[in-house]
A and B are shown apart, each in its own frame.
Chain A
Amino acid sequence: MNSEAGEGARPRRTIDVVNASLKRRYAKERRFRRLGATAVALGLAFVVLLFADIILKGYTAFQQTYIQIPVSFPAEAIDPEGTRDPEVIGDANYMAFIREGLRGLFPEVTQRRDKRQLKGLISVGAAQLVRERVLADPSLIGSTQALWILADDDIDMLVKGHIDRHAPEGARRVSDQVIGWVDRLEAQGRVAKRFNTIFFTHGTSREPELAGIAGALMGSFYTLLLTLILSFPIGVGAAIYLEEFAPKNRWTDLIEVNINNLAAVPSIVFGLLGLAVFIGFFGVPRSTPLVAALVLTLMTLPTVIISSRAALKSVPPSIREAALGVGASPLQTQLHHVLPLAMPGMLTGTILGMAQALGETAPLLMIGMIAFIVDIPGGFTDSATVLPVQIFLWADSPERGFVERTSAAIIVLLAFLFVMNLAAVLLRRRFERRW
């Protein structure tokens, strides 16, 4: 007893104190780790949810319903003189041939109202597609072909099961009669879902089955290309000048503060600026990739400059000293040594800026990119729209067919972003050097 009391009276050794608190410290650490893991898991769950939602909604858009109809191309109606002149061939009324074939499948339909409904099975764009086919292969003229004809978006939705057959007839877009026809066609094996090439080769359209993202994709491509061409050299140049050459005084401080502030300016402001300056003052044609690129360049420049400066700062000064020490001029030092080392960082920053520009909608709305443009742009000065704006437009459309197309467009946009980020990573790898 006595000896124990003596032990207790002795001042505690540091290690005892440490051991006593050790348990608490480890518990704290475990809690912190669990908290972190939870946060990450939550984030991942949301991402998975988002992707799952988009993909589930959108994947059906990559398929399109076609109806097989025997279509005859009477030579006397298409090309009576047998000249095979494309203009003559193009002028023929192909819709009439398709309707003819369709009526052949449903000989019992005679009523005018039913005929119109029957006609509604087929997309209004079907005639154009058939015309193109015949133009590509004039030997079809005079023959009868079992052609797969693009179905109307309502039929598409019905086949994909997006229309509830048990709903009262008035509440759905297709009548019982049409459902009956479609079922009959399906039983005959005349309905098929095929890969939706139209989605990738056509511009937008009022008709969901004819709407594609090619226009928006090309618009985005031209816009981004021009933005890259403009913002990368300007941004890197500005960064190099500010970081390496500019004297450090009140003016450069002011510029630095402004660049940092500019990065935080809401993007719509850049749109207003573009509208006022580029379109209003310089007369750049509106809703073109050119003006969009100018506006997006303004918007991404701060990002590019800031990340480029950070990349330059991360280049060890010893490399500059080494180059100057062997007699390289300041510009040679930058071009031969600093820039190659800073390049991965600059590229990363630029591609992040590009990704931001790719997803940007608001400023483009201000400069007319919201216009409904069916044609696929062929250059920087053609009217165009871009992916996010297209998504915005489709999301706003009432047709059921646009819902899945919106999601599909989002998938394409995300894929685009993914490819860009992948490119960034690969470029980094390629340029990265040890020092």
Chain B
Amino acid sequence: MSTMAEVIEPTAGTISAADLASSQHSRATVGDVTVADPRMTCRGVDVWYGAKQAIKGVSLDIGKHEVVSMIGPSGCGKSTFLRCLNRMNDTIDGCRVTGSIKLDDVDIYDAGLDPVPLRAQVGMVFQKPNPFPKSIYENIAYGPRIHGLTNNKAELDDLVETSLRKAGLWEEVKDRLDQPGTGLSGGQQQRLCIARTIAVSPEVILMDEPCSALDPIATAIIEELIDELREHYSIAIVTHSMQQAARVSQRTAYFHLGDLIEVGETNDIFTNPKHKLTEDYITGRFG
């Protein structure tokens, strides 16, 4: 009986007029935002750009060894939320973050916390492949070098090779490490950026639409890579491709106008979303 009751819990909070009117307040998130083994825990995160609220009370856990995908229409705040997780929003004027975001029980927005080492722990891969205009080797070696992760050239060489191998790029570039990273193809550049990120051995990797500038084959290679990386890292990925979210992630979070509408197992979200907005979005009924 109890299973049935849970089973038939109806699909849809349809969006009502009262609901729209009160959209300044955060909406309750459908689904369980917590995980048993969290790497990052976000609670009641609000983000303001000046007077405009971009994120409204979002709570979400990112578990160890899992890929969380964030989907939603443009301007829904998913990228903003992602950028809170390694304080990349600090660079934006007038951006204010409240609420708590913890990485392994340390509040990353603590006044005494330095964002620079944080970004080594929480790496980021961007929408457009953005290798430094330097050699492939230098691209990977830069992070470890500024953080002093290696003691000598041999160690650094090893680290560069390991990182490139993890990113599945070693075989393609081992003979031309001294050539500029910008000379690689788009997909290779993006893998170079991933290798650069994992060279500083982060715990969490944030990916902001990492495949949106790539062709389907390069995308497939990156997706395969994401699946492999899951063994060692927690990954949060923002994507516009719902199919991609369905393919790569274990959990999916749907954002809408700054609210986290629904979180759940990716399978559930894509077969039987609970919230009307989620369903409308993923079935192409948005707008």
Binding site for B on A (CB under 8 A): 247-248, 316, 318-329, 332, 336-337, 341, 433-435
Q: Are A327 and B147 in contact (CB under 8 A)?
A: yes
| Known A327-B120, A327-B147; contact A316-B200, beta-carbon cutoff 8 A | no
Is B264 at the interface (CB under 8 A from chain A)? no
Is the contact region of chain A dominated by helix, strand, or loop, or is it mixed?
helix
Is B281 at the interface (CB under 8 A from chain A)? no
Query: Inside 8 A of B128's CB, which chain A residues have their CB?
Result: 318
In the assembled complex, the Cα of A110 lies from the Cα of B200 at a distance in Å of 98
In the assembled complex, the Cα of A322 lies from the Cα of B182 at a distance in Å of 13
- Closest 3 A/B residue pairs (Cβ): A327-B120, A318-B130, A326-B143
Q: Are B182 and A435 in contact (CB under 8 A)?
A: yes
Q: How far is the CB of B161 from chain A (nearest CB, A)?
A: 18
Query: Inside 8 A of B93's CB, which chain A residues have their CB?
Result: 247-248
Q: Are A325 and B133 in contact (CB under 8 A)?
A: no
Is B180 at the interface (CB under 8 A from chain A)? yes
In the assembled complex, the Cα of A316 lies from the Cα of B123 at a distance in Å of 20
Q: Are B180 and A434 in contact (CB under 8 A)?
A: yes
Is B166 at the interface (CB under 8 A from chain A)? no
Query: Inside 8 A of A434's CB, which chain B residues have their CB?
Result: 133, 180, 182
Q: Are A325 and B197 in contact (CB under 8 A)?
A: yes
Is B117 at the interface (CB under 8 A from chain A)? yes
Greatest chain B CB density within 10 A among A247, A319, A320, A328 is at A328
Q: How far is the CB of A341 from chain B (nearest CB, A)?
A: 7
Query: Inside 8 A of B142's CB, which chain A residues have their CB?
Result: 323, 326, 328, 336
Minimal Cβ-Cβ distance residue in B for A328: B146
Q: Are B130 and A327 in contact (CB under 8 A)?
A: no
Is B196 at the interface (CB under 8 A from chain A)? yes
| Known A247-B93, A324-B88, A324-B91; contact A329-B116, beta-carbon cutoff 8 A | yes
Query: Inside 8 A of B88's CB, which chain A residues have their CB?
Result: 321, 324-325
Q: Are B132 and A327 in contact (CB under 8 A)?
A: no
Q: Are A316 and B119 in contact (CB under 8 A)?
A: no
Minimal Cβ-Cβ distance residue in B for A340: B133
Query: Inside 8 A of B124's CB, which chain A residues have their CB?
Result: 321, 325
Q: Are B182 and A327 in contact (CB under 8 A)?
A: no
Q: Are B91 and A325 in contact (CB under 8 A)?
A: no
| Known A325-B123, A326-B123; contact A332-B197, beta-carbon cutoff 8 A | no
Minimal Cβ-Cβ distance residue in B for A321: B126
| Known A318-B128, A434-B180; contact A326-B197, beta-carbon cutoff 8 A | yes
Query: Inside 8 A of A328's CB, which chain B residues have their CB?
Result: 116, 142-143, 146
Query: Inside 8 A of A332's CB, which chain B residues have their CB?
Result: 146
Query: Inside 8 A of B196's CB, which chain A residues have their CB?
Result: 322, 326
Known A321-B130, A327-B143, A434-B133; further 8 A-B contacts with Cβ < 8 A: A318-B128, A319-B130, A322-B131, A325-B88, A325-B119, A325-B126, A326-B200, A327-B119
Query: Inside 8 A of A320's CB, which chain B residues have their CB?
Result: 91
Q: Are B116 and A326 in contact (CB under 8 A)?
A: no
Is B86 at the interface (CB under 8 A from chain A)? yes
In the assembled complex, the Cα of A329 lies from the Cα of B182 at a distance in Å of 23
Q: How far is the CB of B15 from chain A (nearest CB, A)?
A: 35
In the assembled complex, the Cα of A321 lies from the Cα of B118 at a distance in Å of 14
Over the window 113-143 of chain B, the binary record of Cβ atoms lying under 8 Å from chain A Cβ atoms (1 yes, 0 no) is: 0001111100111101011110000000011
Q: How far is the CB of A40 from chain B (nearest CB, A)?
A: 35
